[in-house]
A = this chain, B = another copy of it.
Amino acid sequence: MLEAARWQTHHVSQRDLLVLTEEPLNAETRLDRQRGVITPAGRHYVRTHFPIPIGPTVLELDGARRIELSLAEIRAMPPRTVRVTLECAGNGRRFLEPAVPGEQWGLGAVGTAEWTGVPLARLLEEAGLRPNTAEVLFRGADRGIPKDLDREIAFERSLPIADALREDVMVAYAMNGAPVAREHGGPLRLVVAGWYGMASVKWLAAIALLERPFSGFFQADRYVIDGRPLREIAPRAVIASPAEGAVINGREKAATIEVRGYAWSGAGRIAKVEIIAGPAGASAAETWREATLGEQASPYSWREFSLRTLVAFDYGGPEMDVGLMARATDEAGNAQPLGARWNALGYANNAVHPVRIRIRA
């Protein structure tokens, strides 16, 4: 606990991250400062449930055989590298009405890193699978007493066996070319590409095979909507610039607005991002316009988008409020909803979120 506290004092600056809570540490990526695909480790959002533990350097695998693999042994296996956008399932919770409990994330509980490790399937091969395996269970070294519980538990999550064997599910030891930092779950962290972040168990300590579905707290009481565990990240586009409340000077009854942001989906590549810019409050007579997309660095990675748009100054007076909206559609055809789908714990709120700015004649 002391160790965790000391860690925070040294490392976190509001310039690099927007800190929501310090203990446990929860902090957002500053999308306004993000450029390109990769989020540097020191600027990548952090989600923790409990104080940051010292992660183990030995991984227990309870398969057909019970084995232990050291960090050095795992690092010696053929590596796999994938760029992955991780998003917290609670991202955007702050905008739900009526308000729901939980970390009040804005839209920055998301980040993209290059993760290097060994496919989980390869490690399970090492320990051997058992017939009748329904799920694979992962235990992190972090533990504590959740708010609605009266006893200490470890952070534990499972994956159905079919999902666990996907080649892009890996036990990672490197993030952006360097060892995984402590706040990001190092030395060993599970990375489940395409899924909300709760599946990517940090400070990975042990892996076991289960014959029936796991029903632990973080699987059955949290990270569920209508009793169903969350899985793939829903599509979302977030406007990083201009910022809410920005004032832009126009000229000759129009203002040029440079809209920029990021779009991602766990269910497929981003097919398009559409943008509307129009007088705030007016019924949207404007039509959606397609933004220019940056590269899709991997099937699991966000894409940068940008659009330069001219907003005409229709109204009298020297100033006008303008609303900007961005909406993502992935290649599987999933489009972002315009309105929020409220749920009691505030998960997966991927509704289009308007940004209001002001233009001046």
Contacts and interface: CB of A to CB of B under 8 A. Distances in A.
A114 B36 contact: yes
Contact of A79 (B178, B179, B294): B294
Given A79-B294, A258-B76, A35 B304 contact: no
A35 B75 CA distance: 9
Contacts of A112: 177
A337 interface: no
A89 to B, nearest CB: 23
A176 interface: yes
A39 interface: yes
Contacts of A34: 177
A82 B297 CA distance: 9
B294 A176 contact: no
B294 A81 contact: yes
A177 B38 contact: yes
A75 B242 CA distance: 13
Given A76-B258, A258-B76, A177 B36 contact: yes
Closest 4 CB pairs of A and B: A36-B116, A35-B174, A38-B177, A76-B258
Interface of A: 33-41, 43, 75-76, 78-83, 112, 114-116, 173-179, 258, 260, 292, 294-295, 297, 304, 306, 308
12 contacts: A35-B173, A36-B114, A37-B114, A37-B116, A38-B114, A38-B176, A40-B40, A40-B41, A76-B260, A79-B306, A81-B295, A297-B297
